[in-house]
Amino acid sequence: MKKILVLNGPNLNLVGIREPEIYGVRGYSELVDYIRSCGESLGVEVDVRQSNHEGVLIDWIHEALNVFDGLVINAGGYTHTSIAIMDAIKGVGLRAVEVHLSDIRIREPFRRLSYVGKVCERSFIGRGFESYRLALEYLTLGDSR
């Protein structure tokens, strides 16, 4: 069975509370349940984690080497600022897919740059929870889109 690590960065724990007009009204526990359900339907083991700390996310990426078959990452605000997370993903060489609940391409100009996306095979953005399903499908079934 494939194992996929799903990492969520800063403030994702506030989904459903923080700016619901942008991120939706469903809460973080619902997101985790949705991701796990998608993994189960694909026959994939998923490990979902969230941290507001850049170093913790980097440590988890390093620890994923030789343990997981792929990485789905929503780096939150670190998407636009963290060369260190970009380097960690590049360094471990895991297949990686970037996800975002909102469409960063049409938000504030500073959100349009994604360092994380530069080292990911694909990005699924602006599709709410479905971005995660698409990422898991991509890593397990290949690119059908």
The C-alpha torsion from 65 through 81 and 26 to 29, rounded to 10°, is 40
Q: Among 144, 138, 142, which residue's Cα sits nearest to residue 38?
A: 138
Active site residue 100: yes
Which one of the listed residues 78, 100, 115, 132 is annotated catalytic? 100
CB half-sphere exposure, 137, CA atoms < 13 A: 12
Active site residue 53: no
Residues 131 and 142: beta-carbon distance below 8 Å: no
Residue 113 DSSP code: -
Matching residue, tokens 């990492």: 7
Q: Which residues are catalytic?
A: 23, 100
